[in-house]
Amino acid sequence: MKTLSIQEAAKLLGVHQDTLRNWEDEGLIKPLRVGKRADRKYTQEVIDEIIHKGLARPLADLDSALNKKADEKITLAELKTFLWKSADILRGKIDSGDYKKYIFGLLFYKRMSDVWDEEYTQVVEQFHDEELACVDYNHRFQVPRDCAWSEVKKTSTDIGKRLNDVFDKITIANSPKLDKIFDDLDFANKDKFPNETLQRLINHFSSKNFGNTYINSDILGDAYEYLIKQFASDAGKNGGEFYTPREIERVIISILKPGPKDHVCDPTVGSGGFLLEAYHYVRGKHSESDARKLKLSGQEINIGTFAIAKINMFLHGLDSADIRRGDTLADPQFLTPTGTLQTFSHVVANFPYSIKEWEWDTFCHDKYGRTTGYGVPAKKNADYAFILHIIKSLNDHGKAGIVVPHGVLFKSDTTGKIREQIIKNDLIEAVIAMPAKLFFGVGIPVALLILNKQKSAERKDKILFIDAEHDYQEGKNQNILRNADIEKIVSAFDGYKDIEKYAHVATTDELKENDYNLNVRRYVDSSEEEEVIDVSQVWKELKELEKERNEAHKKVEGYLHELKY
């Protein structure tokens, strides 16, 4: 086979050109680069590699796959390719930042409908009673019969309006469980969603059965997480608004070590990654049944991201996760019956950094006691408002892990006074400096702030500083924490002792001497030692070399003289 252009390769494999570029960025494939413009060329070896890795299949195979029954078990690799293909259908029709919510909405709807059909069939086969099979308690989600996927599939005109009507009816039938999940979707805009485009999407999703028999929640959840990551990559710097790299979440959860009976809350929950990581941690350390006992809560201000988090929980089978919408600073949703903030055993967060426009006036007169003993955060920076909210949300033995910009560690004025009081209250257990470029489209480094309201005796009045800035795998657009890097951080935290050029346990006196500045580099010197140069010795060696050169020069002149040159 001759080498193919990116257009030809995309056509052969039935994928979008951007999909090929994404695979290249992730290091999955490496096409040739030729000519002055370094155009991509795809050899037979590259095409074979794509097929071998299960990323795509030749168009002939894809065509034959459409003729297969939808009722086949789906592998994770197949599902990833299938879902990204659905994004390819919308690519170019609407902004890349928008189409994720439509793909997620359709995926969740198809899952609900297929599971309902599956549950219906099981009851009919067992009890031979179709009326009983439609009763609500036999179904995880209610899907009115005129809202079944099979009915929508028959629609040939005004598909967008029909989808909007279906989502409204399903929301009402499942209220309050599915309240607000579909509020941000509008398929009826024909400029964005021509009938032909929606028909392609419907046909695409119709080619797979998303019932439990054909795909379990683990595979579906993993594929959904993959799609979230892909969309975050597409969104660049805006991707950080709804996606935190899973490696960072793993570091924090591995440090906090939640158990089966704990309650984990993320007040800026994003797509829900922290909560899922906590669930996976407990399942890995204990069991599936223990992990189901873990209570998960979260709040999110953005309606689209709120829906992503809710769907994420549902697709992972975590229906009991309590995700609420609202502004955490101005309108916290988790309150006790008496109106005070609900407290949790663990709070995790990657809050939006350095927000300038926020409800500062409301926070000044905070009725939840978040500023008591600390003062009011800066008017044009909400970082410490989030931190104070987290502190107030911890129970008496609570722990927290927070991703923060470095300014939180050293800025003075109002920020410095709040930080000083937090340190004096002995709430900070560790500060960890992380590598730069871990987030999509953002080069700034971040730090992890580990809080503990019930430190062990040997850790009281001390803070562990870890410099993990230099341990990572470098990537083209984003750096990555390797398993060894994660284990090194967690091991250093667990050991809580000095490690040369990596970790230092600072005392209260040291912190005071440094004006309560938490910049890790003040406490851990990870710089390379400069080689001490003995100038006199170097000068002596230079003289010897010069002498040797002169002697060699004389020998050459002698040889040339003998040869009569």
Query: Alpha-carbon distance 460 to 482, whole Å?
Result: 31
Which of 228, 297, 314 is CA-nearest to residue 258?
297
The pLDDT value given to residue 493: 98
pLDDT digits (tens, 9 = 90+) for 350-360: 999 999 999 99
pLDDT digits (tens, 9 = 90+) for 174-210: 999 999 999 999 999 888 899 989 998 998 999 899 9
Rounded average pLDDT over 491-517: 96
Rounded average pLDDT over 33-52: 84
Confidence of residue 62 (pLDDT cuts 50, 70, 90): very low
Query: Alpha-carbon distance 233 to 478, whole Å?
Result: 9
Which of 332, 344, 404 is CA-nearest to residue 369?
332
Which of 129, 101, 263 is CA-nearest to residue 192?
101
The pLDDT value given to residue 202: 92
Axis crossing angle, helix 17-25 with helix 6-13, rounded to the nearest 10 = 100
Rounded average pLDDT over 380-391: 97
DSSP calls for 407-469: HHHH--HHHHHHHHHHHHTT-EEEEEE--S--BTTB---EEEEEEESS--GGGTTEEEEEE-T
The pLDDT value given to residue 67: 46
Query: In the 3-class helix/strand/coil scheme, how is 9-25 assigned residue by residue?
Result: HHHHHCCCHHHHHHHHH
Q: Is the pLDDT of residue 82 over 60?
A: yes
Q: Is the pLDDT of residue 239 over 60?
A: no
Radius of gyration of the chain (CA): 29
Q: Is the pLDDT of residue 29 over 60?
A: yes
Of 2-6, 348-352, 430-434, 528-532, give the lowest mean pLDDT range. 528-532
Confidence of residue 132 (pLDDT cuts 50, 70, 90): very high
At CA 365, angle to CA 360 and CA 369, rounded to 5? 105
- Mean of the per-residue pLDDT values of the chain: 89
Q: Is the pLDDT of residue 509 over 60?
A: yes
The pLDDT value given to residue 226: 87
Q: Is the pLDDT of residue 449 over 90?
A: yes
The pLDDT value given to residue 72: 67
Query: In the 3-class helix/strand/coil scheme, how is 284-313 assigned residue by residue?
Result: HHCCHHHHCCCEEEEEECCHHHHHHHHHHH
Using alpha carbons, list the distances in angstroms from residue 286 to 258, 273, 398.
11, 20, 21
pLDDT digits (tens, 9 = 90+) for 421-432: 999 999 999 999
The rounded Cα 249 to chain-centroid distance in angstroms is 8
Q: Is the pLDDT of residue 50 over 80?
A: yes
pLDDT digits (tens, 9 = 90+) for 247-302: 999 999 999 999 999 999 999 999 999 999 999 999 999 999 999 999 999 999 99
Euclidean distance between the first and final Cα of the chain, in Å? 62
The pLDDT value given to residue 292: 94
Axis crossing angle, helix 217-235 with helix 273-285, rounded to the nearest 10 = 140
| 467, two tokens | 């410099």
